[in-house]
Amino acid sequence: MRNKVRLGFLVGFALVGIGVPLLAHHGNAEYVGKQITVKGTVTAWIWTNPHSILKVDVPDDKGGVVHWICENNAPSTLINFGYTAKTFKPGDQVTVVMDATAKGTPVGRVSWVVLANGQVLMTDDRLRNNPQAGADGTQPEPANPKKAY
């Protein structure tokens, strides 16, 4: 009887151990198909799993600042697009094109980033040959971008 209780406890513990990480991952359901563009100053570049985060301060129409959180892919994916842990530093000026949230919060899923020198850093192979793919047509590509790939 005692062995059955131990076995039951171990099986239960194993199921919880496997199940909790599965619940932790999320999809992109929060983001709608509308792309937005923000221009601002980098405050942080968090190079971590499961998603890298670019924090950008963007001036608003009222003279204030909006603190944007720009969610990106994992570092293991981003290195294929030319990103590194040192790609951004606080004070850098960037333009970020991203999918907006349904709630309208200052959070988005990055499609591409334009650095101050004009270099374009993509996040999706589908965008490599046409940075406008998937955009709503209102965001023009920068003149003569320097591609990172």
Cβ atoms of 72 and 79 within 8 Å: the answer is: no
What letter represents residue 54's amino acid?
L
CA dist., res. 38 & res. 86, Å (int): 21
Domains of the chain, residue spans: 31-147
Q: What's the chain's length in residues? A: 149
Quick: pLDDT tens for 67-84: 999 999 999 999 999 999
CA dist., res. 98 & res. 95, Å (int): 10
Quick: pLDDT tens for 1-58: 666 656 555 555 655 555 444 444 455 667 777 889 999 999 999 999 999 999 999 9
Does residue 137 carry a pLDDT above 50? no
Reduced to 3 states (helix: H, G, I; strand: E, B; else coil), residue 103 is: coil
For domain 31-147, give the CATH superfamily: Nucleic acid-binding proteins (2.40.50.140)
- DSSP-derived secondary structure for 121-147: EES-GGGSS-TTTTS-S-SPPPSS-EE
Quick: pLDDT tens for 74-110: 999 999 999 999 999 999 999 999 998 888 899 999 9
Q: What is the pLDDT of residue 129?
A: 55
